[in-house]
Each structure stands twice: as structure tokens, then as C-alpha cells.
Structure 1
Amino acid sequence: SQKADVYRGWRQSYGAVYIQDDFKARSNLTVNLGLRWEGIRSPREVNGKLAVLKDIYRDKNFVLLSKNEPFFGINDGFKGFSPRVGFAWTPLPDQKTVLRSGFGIFKEMPLAYIWQLALEAPPYSKRYTVNRPQLKFPFPFADPDSLTSTGEPLMLPLQVTTPYTLQWTLSLERQIGQTLVVKANYVGTRGVNLFAIYNPNQKPTIIRDGRQFTPPNAQVPNPNYTSFRYVAPISNQIYNALQLVVERRSRAGLAFNASYTWARNIDNGGGAGIKGAEQIAGAASFAVYNGKDLSSERGLSSLHVKHNFILGYSYELPFGPGRHWGNQSTGPVKYVLGGWAINGTNTIRSGLPINIQMTPRQSGCVAQSCPERPDLRPGGNNNPVLDHWTPERYFDPSNFVLQPTGYFGNVGRNTLMRPGQVNVNLSFTKENRLAEGKNLEFRAELFNFPNHPNFGAPANSVFRDADGNLDPNVGRITSTATPMRQIQFGLKLVF
């Protein structure tokens, strides 16, 4: 694609006010109340370089806006207000048990990262498909006739509903002894009106044999365009997680924090945000498969991680001045043995979801970003990871079949799970006191210390043509998610 003009004189005003009060309802009960107000005005472009399609179902030409006309209107169901409430309660006399809870509404204001998409809309941007062009320097192409427009502009609705999330927590904390704290947390998030891409110019569908079907003679509502990439707040998301935490405060040189999270993250296309999902290889794209049936898009979020264990620790070796052994050491022994510490961060987590897709457009979906999915074979497994998989074949594609022409595939969104990850990072530090107020710190850092391979996403396109022939690369892993072992050394003089 080639943008004709990317310079814009954007104008948008935004302001916010926040009030919070913490007060003691009782000697063992603290209540937190907060209220945030956010006001935002619709963006406009002061040079008249902005155009919109007033009626996406009938109009052909984009209409230029004046410098005072807004790009889109903003609807806020809460009138700008976002309340928060929380409490902390210590029910036992020893003051070592704390129950905490909180709830709040948080908004995702439609700022520049959303409306800068106007740069991809006509008349200032064109998208072309070029078959075997003959290139010359400088650009453009040698033969302009080799360019054919795809007719798929990227747009936003004329009225945008403000996305928001409802967030809540419930936490039980207990102190054990002088240094150990254990916590159990329940965390939840509900996302509403999240942005996703869909095609409102999709051909109309009917129900045939209990399934969505595109008739062969169906026509797009607006014949002036093949399809639209329409970024609109049409998606929702729900996240629930149990978190278990064990924390040790520093004592005898040892401190650590260990946490385990068991979570489930579900959305129907937009829960990962504008860029989050598309930056993850193999995950479902930001685009909706069937805009006529958003319920069929409900599945695991592209950022879903079911199990996640994290351990961070620091241990000062008990040698040298100020330590258990060698406290009175001097000379070479003092400088060789003293001041050493070991630090580490370890992460073990399950894999991210992958969207099973295919090349042939059986459903009649004409959008460029259409993530076509196949059918599940009767009795098949939608997460057919092999028990003894290798990078050459991660999953069994025989669980999927090509659906009849006109039907949308019944395989769900993000059903396949990619390999999990194990990351072990280690560092050694040594403090060398040179003189009063001067210290030389040596550091050796080992990333992916055991050199463990964390494999990336497998090729997720099952069929390559309408005859149902398998893609030769299906299930093959050709990348890693993390780099190989890396070691770096550093010296830092503090004075």
C-alpha cells in the first residue's frame, strides 16, 4: 500500500479529575472511595485532510470534512464518570490476617492510537495488489497499469462508544512468622465495547442445516466496494484468575517471591486490544470471521495464559565482612569471598492459543483480513497436539476437514494451544568497597541459563486449496519464542 499524504493537523482535547478518600470505618476496617471524571472531545483535522463515508451501505465517494467537523462522535454511557470502591479488613486480634477487596470502572478513551487509522482511508491512501511488477528507481512502479485497487478502505464508525472495563479483586493475606506472607487472590475483568475489525459489507447469510450459509447469488450491500475494514467497538471480554503468592522478606540474606496464576481469558475478537493479538504469531487476528454472528467468535483470547508460575529470588552468600562466615576477614580473602549475591527470575507458563485457519474461502468471506476456519471432523479434537510432537509436526491436521462451499467453518476461534515456555534467568553480583563512599559492582547475567529451547507457533494453515489438499507446512515449527542463552558482564562504579 502507498499513503499519498500522512501529515495531519490533529486536534483533540482531554481532561480528567480524580477524587479519593480513605477513611477508618472501624479500628480494623479501612474503606476507599474514589471517583474519576474524564472528558474528551471528538478529534478533528484543521487542514481539511480528512474524509468519511457517510453511508457505508450506499455511498461510493468519501466526503471531505471541514476543519471544524469532528472525525467521529463519542458516546459515553457513564457520562464521563468512573467510580472505584475498596476495603481492607483485619478480622483477627493479632493483625496478621487481612481481607481486601475492590471494584472499579476503567475507560479506554478513543485517543490517537484509534483515530490515526484515518491515514488508511481514501482519498489519502490507496491499497493495491501488484502481480510481478517491474520496478524502477525511484518509486513508483514502472507500469502503473499493473496496479489494481482492492477496494477495501480502513474506516471507523461515525459514532464511537467508549470502551471500558469492570475490574474487581478479592484477596486474603496472612503473615506467618516475621518474614513470610501468603496470599490468595481472585481477580476478574470484564471488557465492554472493545475494538475489533469486521466487514459490514459482508454478503447476507441465511441459516441452512442449522448453520450460517452464504448463498451463491448473494451480493454485498454496497456494490461500490468489495469489503470494508471497519474498526468498531463491537467486542467483549471476560477474565477470571486465581493467584497464589508466597513472599519472604529479606532475612539471613534470602528473599523471594513466588506466584502461581490459574486464569481463563475469553473474548470475541477485541479483548486483546488494537495490536496485542496481531503481534502474537499464530493467534487469531484482530478481524472477525463472521460479522453476522459474533457469538461464533467467542473463544480464548489471543493473550490467554492458563497456567503461569513466576519465582524471583535474591540470596546474599554468607561469606565476607558483614556476613555469617568471614566477618573479620581482611586482605585478599575479604575481596575474593565477600560481597557475592545470587539473583534469579524463573518463569514457567502454558502456551498461548493458536487459530486454526486455511487458504480457500469456502464461506464466501471476501475481506482481505478474513480468517477462514475449517470444519472439525466428526469425533475430532480441536486441540490435536501430538503426545510426542516434534518441530516437524506439532499437531495432527487430520482432525479438520474442508467445509462445503458457502458454509462458515465450525472450528472455534483459538482452539489450538502452542508450546509452553520455561525461562530461567540468573545473575551473580559482587560488591567491592574501594573506599569511603566508593563501590565497584561486578555483575554477570545469564539469560536462558540452561539454554532451554522455547518453540514458537506452528504453521496454522491447514488446507491450501478448495480441493482439500493439506498445506505442506501445516504443523511445522520454524522459530523459537525466546533467544538462546545470552551472557553479559558489567562493571559499575558508584561514588
Structure 2
Amino acid sequence: MNKFPIFVPGVDLTTTVFDRHLRTPYFHQYNMSVQYRVRTDLLLEVAYVGTRGLNLFRNVGINQARLASPQHPIINEVLRALNLPEDVITTNTPANAQLRAPFQGASIIGFAQSQTTAQSSYNSLQISLTKRLSKGLQLLGSYTYAKSIDNASGGVSGGAGVDSGPILGNQHDNRANRGVSDFDRTHRFVLSYLWDLSRPALAAKSTAGRLLFSDWQVAGIITAMSGMPIDIVDSGAGSFYGLNAANALARPNYASGATRGTATRNIPPGYFFNPL
């Protein structure tokens, strides 16, 4: 049986293929902690916890259009074989993106490859204070200061159980896609408590009072955390690459002469940063 894809005239091939050089994803996990007994019923613990992920899955649009210039023209071999004059391309427009694609006959946005070329890192400071049950009160407070960085945040893809993340903008620019993870939360505080309520005096006066007012507890969990990061993207920046939908989104660069300091000072109302 022929297992190769069938090309239909006039219809671009769309599929997701696996890189023949797939590697096994793996993680390095490391931690160190110190405990100190503040008093008999109070324990303080300070820990460093880190994780490094290598060879992680991500989907790459390997057929994105190449960029042409008069100094570095692109030769379309299909047009040359047909003796058409447009075989030498020196300009970049959304209209000629498909002609600049490396694999003619395959879709730019619908022809992807699953690769194990993503990486991630997680580093955190974790502090906990535990008060064992005494005098009717039990407490556990935990605080985490952490940062997660990767170059392809994502979830389960297509219901196939493959963790993979899409790439924004230029599919071959790993540095531009490295940043804080989509799910990163810098600060997280959790407090859980249990309080044994004392039995009031009226509980001892009758059986009904004893049943109604004895052995009551108040318990709860309080969680506070910082929000997740946002991406500032240009929805049309991938058009020269022939990308659209999610992959067409690209992250902006600083304007000439701008720095992080100038972008985060004197911010006009209604803006997240200073556009000037």
C-alpha cells in the first residue's frame, strides 16, 4: 500500500509530520531545603526547587516563506522548469509568499513538523511555616517566588496526548520565542488553618446542648497569587512569511533608541507602555 501523501492538483498539502531526529524529552529536577524549629510546635522550612526540561515537543511551521532580496534572490525551481519569467524572486509580499516557500505544493500554514527542540527552566524559592496542632490551632503557610521560562508554552495537541506548543512569528527564530511561560505566576501564597472551637458552658447543661455545641471546628484555605503574563503581539507581522492565524502573531521589538526604562515610564492613560 502506498503510504506517501497524495498531491491533488490545485490543493496544497496540509499535514503534521514527525521530525526523523526526534529525541526523548527529559527533565532535570533539583532541590535543596533547610528546616529550623522555631519552637516546639513551630517549624520553618526554606527550599530552592528547580527544573530544567530538554528535548520538549513543539510544532514548527517548516514551510514558512523565505525572505528574498536583490542580493539574495530566491529561485523557484517549479516556475523555472515551466520556463515562466517569475522564477527569480527578489521582493517579499504576502501575494508571493507561497512561491517563496521551500516545499512547493505544501501549505505554509498547514504543513507543520513535530520536533523535540523546545527547552524550559523553572527556578523557585519556597518558604513554609508550619504550626502543629496546639491549643486548638493548626496553621500551614506557604509562599513561593518563582519564574518559569520556555520557548514553546502549550498544552495537549489535537487530543492525541502530545504536549506541544506553537511558535509565534518567524518559525526559525528560537531567541525571539524565549520568554516567561504562559502559565508563569511569580508570587503564590497559600494559608490553611484548623481551629478547634472551645465548648461553651451551656453545652454541659443538657444532652441537646452537648450534641449541638461540642466538637466544632473552623477550617479553610486562602490562596493569593499574581496574574499570568500577557503577550504583546502584532497580528500581521507574519504575513511576509505567509503565516496567518496563531502563527502570524509576532512579538514587537523596541523602537530605535528605546529601552525597557523608557517604555515603562510616563505611560499615557489607556496604554500598557510608553509608545513614544
Task: Give the TM-score range, shorter chain.
Answer: 0.7 to 0.9
C-alpha distance in 2 between matches for 1:249 and 1:386: 49
State the 1:337 CA deviation: 2.1
TM-score norm. by structure 2 comes to 0.72
Report the CA distance between 1:319 and its aligned residue. Answer: 1.6
Alignment size in residue pairs? 237
Deviation at 1:198, TM superposition (A): 1.0
The residue that corresponds to 2:165 in the other structure is 286
Q: How does 1:406-417 map to 2 (within 5 A)?
A: none
Asked whether the equivalents of residues 248 and 257 of structure 1 are also in contact (C-alpha less than 8 Å), the reply is yes
Mapped pair 1:170 → 2:32: yes
Q: SS of the counterpart of 2:22?
A: strand
Post-superposition CA distance 1:371-397 (Å, at most 9, x none) = 4225345337698699999xxx6x437
1:477-488 to structure 2, matched below 5 A, reads: none
Correspondence 1:335 to 2:218: no
Q: Which has the higher helix share?
A: 2
Q: Return the alpha-carbon distance in structure 2 between the equivalents of residues 152 and 221 of structure 1.
A: 14
- Alignment-mate amino acid for residue 315 of structure 1: W
Structure 2 CA distance for aligned equivalents of residues 397 and 243 of structure 1? 31
Between the aligned partners of 1:241 and 1:388, the Cα distance in structure 2 is: 34
Change (3 A) 1:375 1:177: closer
SS in 2 for 1:333: helix
Contact map agreement 1:196 1:274 (CA 8 A) in 2: no
Matched, 1:396 2:276: no
Corresponding position: 1:299 with 2:179: yes
Residues 178, 387 of structure 1: CA spacing in aligned structure 2 closer, same or farther, 3 A cutoff?
Answer: farther
**1:195 counterpart (48, 53, 57):** 57
Q: Distance in 1 between matches of 2:14 and 2:266?
A: 39
Pairing of 1:23-102 with structure 2 (within 5 A): 51=3, 61-62=4-5
In structure 2, the partner of 1:263 is 146
3-state SS of paired residue (2:106): coil
Contact 1:171 1:184 in 2 (8 A): yes
Residue by residue over 1:193-216, the C-alpha shift from the partner in whole angstroms, topping out at 9 and shown as x without a partner, is 111111111223489xxxxxx951
C-alpha distance in 1 between matches for 2:14 and 2:221: 46
Counterpart AA for 1:287: P
Q: 1:199 to 1:385 in 2, by over 3 A?
A: farther
1:223 equivalent among 104, 110, 132: 104
1:354 aligns with 2:233: no
Residue number in structure 2 paired with 1:248:
131
Instruction: Write the deviation string for residues 272-314 of structure 1: whole angstroms up to 9, x where unpaired.
Output: 5546xxxxxxxxx921122222111110011111111111111
Q: Which runs of 5+ in 1 are unaligned?
A: 1-47, 52-60, 64-121, 124-147, 208-213, 276-284, 401-495
- Code of the residue aligned with 2:5 in structure 1: it is F
Report the Cα distance in structure 1 between the residues aligned to 2:143 and 2:178, rounded to whole angstroms: 26
Q: Counterparts of 1:314 and 1:388 in 2: how far apart (Å)? A: 47
Say if 1:309 and 1:163 are closer, same or farther in 2 by CA, change over 3 A. Answer: same
Compute the displacement of 1:247 (Å): 0.8
**Cα deviation per residue 1:130-156 (whole Å; 9 max; x = unaligned)?**
xxxxxxxxxxxxxxxxxx966432232
Secondary structure, in 3 states, of the residue corresponding to 2:211?
helix
Task: Note the C-alpha offset of 1:184.
Answer: 0.2
- Give unmatched runs, 5+ long, in structure 2: 70-89, 158-163
Query: In structure 2, what is the Cα distance between the partners aligned to 1:331 and 1:386?
Result: 70
Quick one: distance in 1 between partners of 2:155 and 2:41?
Answer: 39
Partner Cα distance (1:266, 1:354) in 2: 14
What amino acid is the match of 1:241?
Answer: S
The answer as to 2:41 corresponding to 1:179 is yes
Structure 1 residue 258, shift from structure 2 partner:
0.5
1:342 offset after TM fit, Å?
1.1
Q: 1:338 to 1:160 in 2, by over 3 A?
A: same
Helix, strand or coil at the partner of 1:369: helix
What do the CA deviations read for 1:143-201 (whole angstroms, capped 9, x no partner)?
A: xxxxx966432232234211000000000011232221110000010000111111111
Measured in 1, the distance between the counterparts of 2:52 and 2:123 equals 9
> Partners of 1:349 and 1:184 in 2: how far apart?
19
Q: Distance in 1 between matches of 2:226 and 2:11?
A: 43
| Secondary structure of the corresponding residue to residue 375 of structure 1 | coil
Cα separation, 2, equivalents of 1:187 and 1:387: 36
- Give the CA deviation at 1:230: 1.9
Task: Map 1:93-242 to 2 at 5 A.
Answer: 151-205=13-67, 216=92, 219-227=100-108, 228-242=111-125
Q: Which amino acid aligns with 2:185?
A: V
Q: Give the drift of 1:241.
A: 0.2
User: How far apart are the structure 1 equivalents of 2:28 and 2:68?
Assistant: 35
% identical equivalent positions: 24
Q: Provide the rounded CA distance (Å) in 1 between the counterparts of 2:242 and 2:265.
A: 31
Alignment-mate amino acid for residue 251 of structure 1 = S
Asked if the contact 2:236/2:248 (under 8 Å) is kept, the reply is no
Are residues 293 and 359 of structure 1, via their aligned partners in 2, closer, same or farther at CA, if it must alter by over 3 Å? closer
Residues in 2 aligned to 1:343 and 1:387: alpha-carbon distance in whole angstroms = 44
CA distance in 2, matches of 1:342, 1:205: 65
CA distance in 2, matches of 1:188, 1:179: 29
